[in-house]
């Protein structure tokens, strides 16, 4: 198995994780950066289970609309359910590299923790640029997994687990090159805001408290040897938390850019 499969099991995990305090904070940061107004048209590239779409429908009101695009049918089904009766929302099954919408037809575009899974990032950013109207704003958020600081008494085992976890996505350190990629796609006024997500306990309200189960389940699914590795590693993380010794920190980046 290579990249994570966004199937019903992951939908169920994200449905819980995306209600947690850290992810609510992240959504608020993205919404502040997007700065939507009533009547605007918004496209959410890699909309997942539709938390952003549902919240943005309230911001754009009855005259505005939100279009969600994703490659995962179970994600799109969850998003459609979440947005039912909340306003003008449409969902399309399509890749970020071929958005099924006309050029220059959106005021805002967002793509949160999606580009890191997309093989051809320049093509996907080019699509966001194409569908925004001149003056339209894009918000692209990704995690730089190379900034991870994660405590273990067995650093060698931690390194093996993290090498395996890097296989869950295509670009483990995408933010390093995103500013240049946005400019190359034709965007102007490119900015980046770093946001630390740090945790000192396996608290389910935190990003670092939820991610242990996701890492364990992904790494365990790779092969029999990895299954043993993941189990032992996760057991240590739970023990560390029980003893008050847990520590997790990662930097996530919010990029904003404007189509000239
Ligand atoms: C980590 S989830 C983020 C969901 C959502 N953006 C959020 O933050 O609430 C990543 C999403 O990207 C979607 N995805 C991955 N590769 C994609 C691609 N090439 N084109 C469109 N969507 C993609 C997945 O199906 C999944 O729903």
E strands in 118-187:
132-150
In this prediction, residue 3 carries a pLDDT of 86
Judged against a pLDDT cut of 90, whether residue 124 lies above it is answered with yes
Mean pLDDT of 160-175: 96
In whole angstroms, give the CA distance from residue 53 to residue 151: 35
Distance CA 109, CA 131 (A): 8
**Statement: residue 2 has pLDDT above 80:** no
pLDDT at residue number 253: 98
C-beta 72 within 6 A of ligand 1: yes
CA distance linking residue 253 with residue 175, whole number of Å: 7
Give the chain's mean pLDDT: 97
Average pLDDT over residues 109-121: 98
237 CA to centre of ligand 1 in angstroms: 27
Beta pairing class for 132-150 and 188-199: unpaired
Counting from 1 in the atom list of ligand 1, the atom nearest the Cα of 51 is 9
pLDDT at residue 1, rounded to an integer: 47
Distance 215 CA to ligand 1 centre (A): 17
Buried b (16+ CB within 10 A) or exposed e, 26-40: bbebbbebbebeeeb
Q: Is the CB of 52 under 6 A from ligand 1?
A: yes
Residue whose C-alpha is closest to residue 41's, from 17, 61, 16, 11: 61
Report how far residue 174's alpha carbon sits from residue 151's, in angstroms, rounded to the nearest whole number: 23
Burial class (CB in 10 A: 0-12, 13-18, 19+), 196: exposed
State the average pLDDT over residues 209-233. 96
Task: Give Cα separations from 48 to 51, 110, 134, 190 (angstroms).
Answer: 8, 12, 26, 25
* Rounded Cα gap, residues 104 and 49, in angstroms: 25
**What are the tens digits of pLDDT across the range 129-164?**
999 999 999 999 999 999 999 999 999 999 999 999
- Give dist(CA 82, CA 56) in Å, integer: 12
Average pLDDT rounded to a whole number, residues 196-225: 95
- Please state the atom number of ligand 1 nearest to the C-alpha of residue 6: 25
pLDDT, average across residues 104-133? 98
Q: How far is the CA of 189 from the centre of ligand 1 (A)?
A: 25
Q: What is the pLDDT of residues 62-98, one digit of tens each?
A: 999 999 999 999 999 999 999 999 999 999 999 999 9
Mean per-residue pLDDT, 219-224: 96
Q: How far is the CA of 168 from the centre of ligand 1 (A)?
A: 13
Q: pLDDT tens digits for 9-24?
A: 999 999 999 999 999 9
What percentage of the chain exceeds 70 in pLDDT?
99
From 86, 20, 88, 10, select the one nearest 48 (Cα to Cα): 10
Q: CB-hemisphere CA count at 13 Å for 18?
A: 22
């Amino acid at each position: 198995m290579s990249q994570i499969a966004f199937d019903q099991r992951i939908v169920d995990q994200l449905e819980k994780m995306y209600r947690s305090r850290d992810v609510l904070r992240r959504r608020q940061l993205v919404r502040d950066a997007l700065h939507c107004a009533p009547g605007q048209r918004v496209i959410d590239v890699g909309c997942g289970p539709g938390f952003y779409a549902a919240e943005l429908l309230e911001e754009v009101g009855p005259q505005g609309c939100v279009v969600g695009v994703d490659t995962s049918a179970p994600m799109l089904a969850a998003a459609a359910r979440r947005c039912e009766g909340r306003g003008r929302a449409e969902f399309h099954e399509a890749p970020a590299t071929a958005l099924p919408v006309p050029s220059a037809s959106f005021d805002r575009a967002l793509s949160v923790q999606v580009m890191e899974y997309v093989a051809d990032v320049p093509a996907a950013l080019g699509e966001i640029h194409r569908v925004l109207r001149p003056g339209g704003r894009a918000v692209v958020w990704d995690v730089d997994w190379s900034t991870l600081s994660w405590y273990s008494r067995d650093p060698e085992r931690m390194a093996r687990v993290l090498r395996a976890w890097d296989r869950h996505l295509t670009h483990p350190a995408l933010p390093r090159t995103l500013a240049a990629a946005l400019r190359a796609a034709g965007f102007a006024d490119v900015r980046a805001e770093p946001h630390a997500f740090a945790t000192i306990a396996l608290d389910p309200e935190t990003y670092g408290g939820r991610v242990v189960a996701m890492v364990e389940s992904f790494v365990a699914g790779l092969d029999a040897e990895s299954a043993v590795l993941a189990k032992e590693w996760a057991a240590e993380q739970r023990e560390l938390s029980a003893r008050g010794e847990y520590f997790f920190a990662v930097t996530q980046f919010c990029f904003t850019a404007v189509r000239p």
